[in-house]
Structure 1
Amino acid sequence: MNYALGELNKPRESQNNRPNILVVDDTPDNVRLLSSVLTDNGYRVCKALKGDMALTVCKNALPDLILLDVMMPGMDGYEVCKCLKQQESTRHIPVIFLSALNEVEDKVKAFEAGGVDYISKPFQEAEVLSRVQTHLKLRQLQINLEEKNLCLQQEITERQQAQRSLEVSEAKNLALVNAIPDVMFRIGEDGFFLDYRSPSLREPDDREESSGNPTNYSLQKSQDLTPHVFPICESLAADSSFVGKHINQVLSDDLAIWIMHYVQQTLLTSEVQLAEYIQRDKNQDRWVSYEVRYVKSGPSEVLAIARDISSRKQADAAKLQAEAIMRHQKQKIQQALTDLQEAQVKLVQNEKMVGLGQLVAGIAHEINNPVNFIYGNISHVQSAISNLVNLLEIYQQEHPPNEKVCKVMEELDFDFLTDDLRKMMTSIAAGAERINQIVLSLRKFSLMDEAGVKKVDIHENLETTLVLLKHRFKIADEQEIELIKEYGEIPPILCYPGELNQVFFNLLNNAIDVLSDILPDRLKSQKANPNAPDFVPSIRISTALTDRQTLLIRIKDNGPGISESGRSRLFDPFFTTKPVGKGRGLGLSISYQIIVQKHGGQLSCNSTPDQGAEFVIELPLVQSTTDPGGVP
């Protein structure tokens, strides 16, 4: 058994739940006798021969009851009992004194020290067992009573907290109800008004204030009703209260029928009903609209909340009329804008193709002449320089230079100069070859000398476009766009090569722009999160034949992709996803017209956010010999 209130909820640790009794006596025979008697009757016994030893035993394991001898050397029983009663953990343990002293003063002293009983020696076995059992039961009843008192105190505390919470909740509900600018009333299923609240009057009457109930509201007079929200029939006197009257006595017939219908529907379905009602206001000769929400507030009653929505209805009607006018005007403007954009795109495309062809052809022609001059003389210059260097080396071997010449050769670092001169000529030759290839690519890209439909190798057109854009593939100091080519086995096809090159240029140029824009942010993210995989910008170009005898050309990047809303307008004229000033929105529109209208093919975009964008071109292998006229 346990004693302190703080220990009431702890489980007993005694073996087999047997009571633990401490026997304290300086006579070993008495200790053995009591231990034998108690053990035979199902108790667990601890023994101590001195008072201080008993206190030590109590510190290690609390007994359920103590049999304490009075006369002991050192600390007597009275002192031991006083020490036990002064400690919180042991003061509840019942103590039965054992003594040969049988005087009244001795017994009184034992009870004053804190004992619960007194057994005189020599003691009888039945007496000891009876008193032990009685005091153990008393202690258990005391513990049970303390537990019940503790539970009762906790329940009282919880009820007080619940009462305070209920009062706070009621105050909040009251403030909320007072803040609602609507008419509220309760109607029974028989059609009688049970209560009414007008937003104009919220004060409780004197009787309700005296009752101390803050949730009751004064019964409103019919004159308090907002006339525009809740019109009253003319038969009701202006100063009479309608609470307790039937709805037919208060409202007009049509309004009463309308309200009772929703009252019955609310009680039947137990669901909130929302209804709107329109009627003419006789005083101002105008139509009044209001909505009423019906909520089941009891087994046979409904709470109705009425709100004037006349202003909202008028605003909605004006809005609908304005929207209709705006839609009509927008359609007219949209049609005019579409016609203007189509005309502008055709004009821009025509001027762009003509201007681009002339510019590219002119540049190629102007560069070609000096490049040919340089390219044609490089071999002769290389041979002459090589001969001069060899001559100087032979002259140096046959006629050793004097001191002045040696000094000049040392200052010029003759050996390094000769090696560097050969390297410079090799670099000049490589540069001239590069310029020659660029000029050739420009001529192929413009194809000014190949007007109309031609049979061309698409791979060669793609390579020509990549040569012109090669300088843009390096987008950072140590970062270059990875180019992946997956060319399939395809035959030459009939097409308009110059315009097709323009499509390839637009698509590749857009992909490079996207990857250049997102690279700085991706590099910052990698620095912030070193465990993230490295971002390598890449463009993949693939070609293949289909079973429909068409050619598929796919150009895919690993950028941020295009949203669904952006894809729906991607090929519209002047629509662009680039920042302001970086795009006019004509590249994809012109490309779409070239592929679809000029070549009879298809141009589409497949994209998933954060997964890049893929543009798919599908071209027929054979083109019509007549220009469809879609794009000049």
Structure 2
Amino acid sequence: MSGQVMPCSPQEISSLFLFEKLAPEQLGRLCSQGRVELFEPGPVYAEGEPATCFFAMIEGTVVLSRRVGTDDVEVTRTSQAGVYAGAMQAYLGDRVRQVYNNSMRVTRPTRFFVLPSDTFAEIMSEWFPMAVHLLEGLFFGSKSMQAAIGQRERLLALGSLSAGLTHELNNPAAAAVRATSTLRERVAKMRHKLGVIAEGPFSRDVLARLVEIQERTAERVAKAPSLSPLEASDREDALGDWLEDHGVDHGWQIAPTFVQAGLDVDWLEQVAAAVGEEILPGAVGWLNYTVETELLMTEIEDSTTRISNLVDAAKQYSQLDRAPYRVADVHELLDSTLLMLSGKIGRRVKVVKEYDRTLPPVPAYPAELNQVWTNLIDNAVCAMTADDGAGTLTVRTALDHERVLVEFRDTGPGIAPEIKDRIFDPFFTTKPVGQGTGLGLDISWRIVVNKHHGTIEVESAPGDTRFRVLLPLTPETPESPESSEEAA
């Protein structure tokens, strides 16, 4: 939007704090190469447009806003003469994408001193060469520091996750190794028992019935019901008595295995009727090995499935095989993060999922959203475990005015009101020395707001702290320029 060009007075612009130290010839050059413009109420420039001008307000009222999702959020509103905005980084040239990092509008007739961006860059380099070098160093140094520290934060999180993942993988792996070793012993004993039975005076029909019973027993193991401790104890007593009454030695040792496999007295009666009393002890012993091998194979299957699920969760969490920007299901991302952090969450923290499964997928950088979930979950767990180590973490999703809401609620002591406004500041942390960098929430804010055009909010009271992440459902330009210092 263009304003009405008006005469430029060196004396008037010298009253602005930016120019009050300039010499008369410098003020004259500014007036000759710049201009004064009067803007009626309305927009002056929009965020993301090429930054072609530097603006210093002479009189009026200016409002700066940033786009967050589909909303324009007011950042600054002021009537102070001399405030400035626009192409403030023009002196960096093509090394930085020169676009307006905010939107500016005026609410009443407002006059600006306007300087073209290339003229502003030229004058800055000519008049203030040392200042330009310092500003360049500050700008690029800050970028490098943020990148390095952000990488460090990610590495710290990865180290914590790796330790937890190693622990989670070790348990099922060790269980599978133990079960495999025991299975080898049981199969060897089964072969021996089969040889003993085969050498006995048993007819072909009896052996056929025994093999059929073995098959049906294996099927029964796969469908074994879940019993309460009291039900299991009662069934063990009944099976032990039945086995002792039918001449099976050490029946009390076999009974728990049969109960775990879902076998009962009625089943043993069918076995006795099929094979006869004379070979019943040998048949029961052989069936015991059958049951044990089936249970061991189930244990191995469960363990390897657990390992596979953990590996899938790690892949989902890291998004190693996915495009960096894509449409993603937030529930898959949340589940993979919770699984990756399960070791750190521990058993004393109860995790409650309140998912709205009807939510549509969101356009996102999934790996970076996982980093946000990690930071928020880690903070919640640390807050709850700081006292007695117990609590409830509730993860909720919902649709909120055409945006996807992901909420993390913990039952920790809450955030003190005096620090609530500082928690997203870089390097601010309430964790003990050495346990936090103070960058987790800052990085989370940048990922949600800058990269996804969403919002992140916090509400806190003792026993109820909620971090709310809102993500737009409509795809935006993949990455907006980094926010810079906006002076107004």
Q: So what's the TM-score if we normalise by structure 1?
A: 0.36
Which one scores higher on RCO, CA 8 angstroms, separation ≥ 6?
2
Larger Cα-atom Rg: 1
Q: So what's the TM-score if we normalise by structure 2?
A: 0.45
